[in-house]
Amino acid sequence: MPFFNKTPHLGAAILGATMGSVGTVIPFMMSLSPFSVSASSGNGAGETPRASACKDASIPLVTRDDLELKFVQILFRHGARTPLGSGCIPKSEQSVWDKDTLFQGEADLCIDYKVRALDGRPQPEWKIEQYYRKAPLKGGSFKGQLTAKGMKQANDLGKELRRHYMEKLGFLPKEFNPQLVYTRSTNINRTLQSLGCLLGGLYGDTISAKELPVTFYVDEGMEEILYPNRQRCGQLSHHYKSVFTDMFWVPEMGQTFDQFATILDLSDEEKKKLDFINLRDEVTARLEHCKEVPDFVMNVVDVIEKNATILMKFVIEGGNPSERNLIRFSAGPTMHYITETIDAANKKEIPYKFHLNSCHDTTLMTVLLALEVFDDIWPPLTASIIFELYEDKKGNAFVRILYKNKEQRICQSKETLLPFEKFKQLIAPVSYTAQDYADACKVTS
């Protein structure tokens, strides 16, 4: 496959509607790795300053002694995976993604699970996994699959959550209870497996045989709200089509395309097909698994990273972020889900104390942009956004938001601990109920 060919894996990574084959619709999501080797060495073991900056510190405690933690909702991205395509790096041999070695050694860190629809019916079909298996990568592995390294990363995240919420705070019981821990994922293998591995780190051997397999809940693809879903929204579909028909009109991108084409010695035709996001996809997947990347690409790896982020931000929030014109279409259903769940916990309408949602980096990026706290760094592997609900002795509710374990001041607020009603007010402009979203997403001619 030519390295600039946008079909089909551009659709898999970005558009959400590029047809891999007739009738196969690919959802809008990305799952890229942070750069984890030294750009100066090309294929060394050191970390770039950017990768180091992405590392999470321990989750900080709240400073008020009168607050009791009542509920935790977490959105996290999965661990390392195989790329969504191949041949995206110019003048480079395809990497070998060996099906006999990439997935070995860490499966025992993950629990057994079964998948059900949100309403308890059997797992809905989702054609993206069929698409991933249609054309295996060199070496026999399928595209977009969680690797053994990704399993370990998700398990480590579970251990981190165990140390804080179970061992330090005593918030979670030491034995798994499905009445207290809700487990949801997008209906994609890598997110489902990451959730299984996270629970392996969080509860390990304490999950009794009678509780296995644990039920994971998913939505049908057309209705998914855990990433910007262009299949649900004509406004998003129209925007994505405009962007990827001609990326040169995207702000800050036109001159960059010219400069980058010169650096890589691309022809005019190749330059027209240049796609930073697919290029980043394969580069970062290779680096995460210690595979060779050409030096001439490593020399401009920060340029690739920066421009992939610029492009993805434009896809998510549109051309005028100050008006927040598109972010509500991208983030609205997700933000409503977050607020609705916390509200239900505050009213004690649900029994859960811990609400896990396994999703994607575009999920996190979208939510961070909606909250106005995105740091312009692509969300790293197993990064998480944590929403904590607290209650004081008078029954007043408060919300704290953390990203990469750092407290966030959302929507230009001066506080990191928000009264719940203020939190809802700040979220309202970027939130949509299902019916309002359906009405707003209609494209009128």
- Three-class SS of 145-203: CECHHHHHHHHHHHHHHHHHHHHHCCCCCCCCCCCCEEEEECCCHHHHHHHHHHHHHHC
Nearest to 298 by CA among 280, 273, 312, 278: 280
**Residue 430 located in a structural domain:** yes
**Residue 328 located in a structural domain:** yes
Pairing of strands 68-77, 384-391: antiparallel
Summarised one tens digit per residue, pLDDT across range 59-81 is 999 989 999 999 999 999 999 99
What is the sign, positive or negative, of the torsion defined by CA atoms of 88, 76, 17, 427?
Answer: negative
pTM to 2 decimal places: 0.88
Non-local CB neighbours of 78 within 8 Å, separated by 6+ positions: 31, 146, 150, 154, 190, 191, 193, 194, 358, 359, 360, 381, 382
pLDDT at 357 over 60: yes
pLDDT at 3 over 50: no
Peptide bond before 178: cis, by omega within 30 degrees of 0? no
pLDDT at 41 over 50: no
pLDDT at 10 over 70: no
The enclosing domain of 46 has a CATH number of 3.40.50.1240
**Residue 104 located in a structural domain:** yes
Residue 297: which H helix or E strand, with range?
helix 295-298
**More confident of the two residues 129 and 142:** 142
**Residue 71 located in a structural domain:** yes
Summarised one tens digit per residue, pLDDT across range 366-396 is 999 999 999 999 999 999 999 999 999 999 9
Summarised one tens digit per residue, pLDDT across range 284-329 is 999 999 999 999 889 889 989 998 998 899 889 886 654 457 899 9
**Residue 53 located in a structural domain:** yes
396 backbone dihedrals φ, ψ, rounded to 5°: -80, 140
The parent domain of residue 161 ranges over: 9-236+322-440
**More confident of the two residues 343 and 21:** 343
**Residue 77 located in a structural domain:** yes
Average pLDDT of the chain is 84
Q: Residue 215: how many CB atoms within 10 A of its CB?
A: 13
**Residue 299 located in a structural domain:** no
Q: Which of 55-59, 191-195, 285-289, 357-361 has the lowest mean pLDDT?
A: 55-59
Q: How many domains does the chain have?
A: 1
Nearest to 255 by CA among 270, 239, 271: 271
**Residue 399 located in a structural domain:** yes
pLDDT at 39 over 60: no
The Cα–Cα gap between 370 and 365 comes to: 9
